[in-house]
């Protein structure tokens, strides 16, 4: 998956969060916090893969992982790491 595909997957995750928040009438402050959380999570996933190879632990960047991190942010990266270590 190229960088465009990854960016589209993150954008799709953010769009899903936005739609859910609009349906539930969540204030804009909470939506902004979720967007920032997703962007930080995406950056951490990228950095984790960049430096994780040094210790032998990497998380593949695919559509599912990008959506999980796009929706959950940092907890999504932690969830993916835990699942990687367990499975």
**Confidence band of 82 (pLDDT split at 50, 70, 90):** very high
**Residue 2: other Cβ atoms inside 10 A:** 7
Note whether 10 and 36 are within 8 A (CB): no
pLDDT at residue 40 in the model: 82
Cα–Cα distance, 74 to 42 (Å, whole number): 8
Could you report the per-residue pLDDT of 6-60, keeping only the tens digit for each?
A: 788 888 888 888 888 777 776 777 778 777 877 887 788 888 888 888 888 888 8
Environment class of residue 35 by beta-carbon count within 10 Å: exposed (0-12), middle (13-18) or buried (19+)?
Answer: middle
| Whole-model pTM over 0.75 | no
Residue found under tokens 């907890």 = 75
């Amino acid at each position: 998956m190229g960088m465009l595909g990854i960016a589209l997957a993150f954008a799709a995750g953010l769009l899903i969060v936005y739609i859910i928040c609009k349906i539930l009438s969540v204030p804009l402050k909470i939506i902004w916090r979720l967007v920032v959380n997703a962007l930080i999570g995406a950056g951490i996933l990228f950095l984790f893969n960049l430096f994780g190879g040094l210790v032998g632990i990497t998380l593949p960047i695919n559509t599912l992982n990008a959506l999980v991190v796009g929706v959950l942010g940092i907890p999504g990266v932690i969830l993916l790491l835990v699942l990687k270590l367990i499975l």
